[in-house]
Structure 1
Amino acid sequence: GQRAAEYGARVAVIESHRLGGTCVNVGCVPKKVMWYAADLAEGLRDAAGYGFGASAGAHDWGQLKEKRDAYILRLNGIYETNLAKRGVTLVRGRARFLDRRTVAVGDNRLCAPHIIIATGGRPVVPDIPGSALGITSDGFFELTERPRRVAVVGSGYIAVELAGIFAALGSEVSLVLRTGAALKQFDAMLGEAMLKILGEEGVRIDTHAVPEKLA
């Protein structure tokens, strides 16, 4: 939207949630904050071996979440400011098509020769009994306390990252894989190395396991 406006187009952005999409709100940006916390925890545990008198001590998950959320909120504001600077109209709500060149947002109608659908996606929740008891990666960022025990179901990079973060910050973690491998979309040696590292960090690796229900 911003780039089109820079080239002189009249632009409207329709958003029902926070600006920035998945990456800024429930993806790479807040995940990196959690990763840095996990990296610091591991560094503090190794500090004595390098002559430092520091120790990790207790970690305040709630305080980290509060500061992380404030950082993301500031980014949301920056996105909104940048849209306004470029003359982009921000419309809050959900759009539906009335015809190929017209959408409705509540009682408002917007017409344009070009309408771009960039809504992103949603996590797939397994259709098993008790699935509502679990959370997706979106729910990870809503946790106000660190769970004492957690099972991460999945073999992709998001599951591997979350398992590592939980473990580094003190949770007892199981990583549940449908097959015997992780990171299958990457080189096999990377998946093998990551499972080895996670195992050394205390993560339990359950292979060839498919959850049948949650209780």
Structure 2
Amino acid sequence: MTYDCDLFVIGAGSGGLAASKKAASYGVKVVIAESDLVGGTCVIRGCVPKKLMVYSSHFPSLFESAVGYGWKIEESQLDWEKFITSINKEVQRLSAIHSNLLQKAGVKLLPYRATLIDEHTVEVGNQKVTADKILIAVGGEAIKPNIPGIEHAITSREIFNLPFLPKHIAIIGAGYIGTEFACIMRGLGCKVTQIIRKEQILSGFDKDIRAWIQDGMINHGIRILTNSMVTSVKKIEDRLEINVSGKYTESITTDVLLVATGRSPNIKGLGLENAGVDLVASSIEKPGYKSINAISVNEYSQTSQSNIFAIGDVTNKINLTPVAIGKGRAFADSEFGNNPSVFSHENIPTAVFSKPEAATIGLTEAQAREKFGENGITIYCSRFRPMFYVLPNQNEKTIIKLVIDRKTDKVLGAHMVGDNAAEIIQGVAIAIKMGATKKDFDTTVGIHPSSAEEIVNMQ
């Protein structure tokens, strides 16, 4: 049978872009559909604009530190409108770059939302397109809990376009998004109240990592209401009244309420039922990631329909941009490059851009004890105040933790809370991926003086 194209990609986010360009490099005809800006959640309303906000939120503490080093700092003030405008300009610039790269790769872009008609046909705009293979890469969307008045709350989609910097922001959620934005907004000068259902943030992460981040957040002035939940939201003039129950029973008046209670695969209106694509009701893959009503895929990103594939946040796999990119390329290699490739989910590093920052790879202490037994592992841990904070006399601490297999000496996990944790653990991740042992770490010369040298100095 003759098709209009060899591959039709639904969604021009990180995974869809990587897959389409890689497939096109093998000489196949690729069409991609995207109704929003090209780039997906990461570029438009996720990793990129969030990281720019993280950078901005660090300046007040840097000004404070500078005084300890003898600098005279004049009064500073954030121009919110200029800040948000600059972020949006950068998002637009990056989106345009991705569009141009598609064009250079020979990929045809259709600026519409696509719907599956059957296993080989999609409806896009006012036309129908047939394809030998179809890749679904539509990502996810923020979801809100069913609470009276929740329509007055915003999600991570809207926070990048706030018309003003709130004096007080309340945040529901203990995961990546809730924790990171609590730290961002506090750093920008807001009063922050974070409401979480459990005792600690970041469920699934190493216990010490969770504790150190949470203690650091509290030390920076963030109020965390543990074992509590929002029962209702009411708009009173230009403010919100939030009622809380549980360990804390009170009403909170705030300017903005950010809901960061999770994300759901963006499958509405996709027509999966028309093509016989199965969903999995609920799946938890790794700490911090939970999928609800996600597309079920095998190790080759293949769905229940043999010619339809899915990658990224729409699937029941790990929801990380680098994972989506890796799986997109592996899919293209397997299907069009005559090179069957399976993306490994083992030892995937990740970071939380909170204040203090955290990064991790491999097994947590609890996971390692469960797998190797109480006496099967050795824990090395270093806690210290980095040199940078000595002169300003600031109470900023760092923790670095290694989890070691006692029998093989292999490094099973590395976890860090502190400045530049992501940059440091990225390098450590290479060693762990290659199977490094504690002895390999011990025989590596540290760079002195640095926080990172503690990784190779722990005894």
Tell me how far 1:144 sits from its aligned partner: 2.2
TM-score by length of 1: 0.97
Which of 113, 116, 119 is the equivalent residue of 1:94?
113
Tell me how far 1:55 sits from its aligned partner: 4.2
Which of 215, 224, 249 is the equivalent residue of 1:205?
224
> Hey, what's the Cα distance between the residues in 2 that align with 1:55 and 1:42?
14
Which of 14, 22, 41 is the equivalent residue of 1:3?
22
> Hey, what's the Cα distance between the residues in 1 that align with 2:116 and 2:54?
40
Tell me how far 1:110 sits from its aligned partner: 1.1
The code of the aligned residue for 1:66 comes to: T
How many residue pairs were aligned?
A: 215
Tell me how far 1:106 sits from its aligned partner: 2.1
2:82 aligns with 63
2:71 aligns with 52
> Hey, what's the Cα distance between the residues in 2 that align with 1:213 and 1:84?
48
Taking the TM superposition and a 5 Å limit, the aligned residue runs for 1:97-116 are: 97-116=116-135
Q: Between the two proteins, what is the percent identity of the paired residues?
A: 35
Tell me how far 1:90 sits from its aligned partner: 0.3
State the superposition RMSD in angstroms: 1.0
1:132 aligns with 151
Is the CA contact 1:24–1:30 (under 8 Å) kept in the aligned structure 2?
Answer: yes
Which of 55, 63, 79 is the equivalent residue of 1:36?
55
Is the CA contact 1:148–1:171 (under 8 Å) kept in the aligned structure 2?
Answer: yes
- Higher strand proportion (structure 1 or 2): 2
The code of the aligned residue for 1:11 comes to: V
2:250 aligns with none
Tell me how far 1:60 sits from its aligned partner: 1.2
Taking the TM superposition and a 5 Å limit, the aligned residue runs for 1:135-146 are: 135-146=154-165
> Hey, what's the Cα distance between the residues in 2 that align with 1:42 and 1:155?
24
1:16 aligns with 35
1:185 aligns with 204
2:179 aligns with 160
Deviations 1:78-124 (A, max 9, x none): 00000000110000111112221111112111111100111111111
Which blocks of at least 5 consecutive residues in structure 1 are unaligned? none
TM-score by length of 2: 0.46
Q: Judging changes above 3 Å, is the alpha-carbon distance between structure 1 residues 190 and 131 closer, same or farther for their aligned structure 2 residues?
A: same
Tell me how far 1:56 sits from its aligned partner: 5.6
Which of 96, 102, 121 is the equivalent residue of 1:77?
96
Q: Which has the larger radius of gyration?
A: 2
SS in 2 for 1:30: helix
Tell me how far 1:140 sits from its aligned partner: 1.0
Higher relative contact order (CA 8 A, sep 6+): 1
- Runs of 4 or more, structure 1, over 4 Å off, are none
> Hey, what's the Cα distance between the residues in 2 that align with 1:55 and 1:116?
54
Tell me how far 1:191 sits from its aligned partner: 1.2
SS in 2 for 1:210: strand
Which blocks of at least 5 consecutive residues in structure 2 are unaligned? 1-19, 235-459
> Hey, what's the Cα distance between the residues in 2 that align with 1:45 and 1:65?
24
The code of the aligned residue for 1:70 comes to: K
The code of the aligned residue for 2:64 comes to: R
> Hey, what's the Cα distance between the residues in 1 that align with 2:228 and 2:45?
27
> Hey, what's the Cα distance between the residues in 2 that align with 1:53 and 1:37?
20
The code of the aligned residue for 2:66 comes to: A
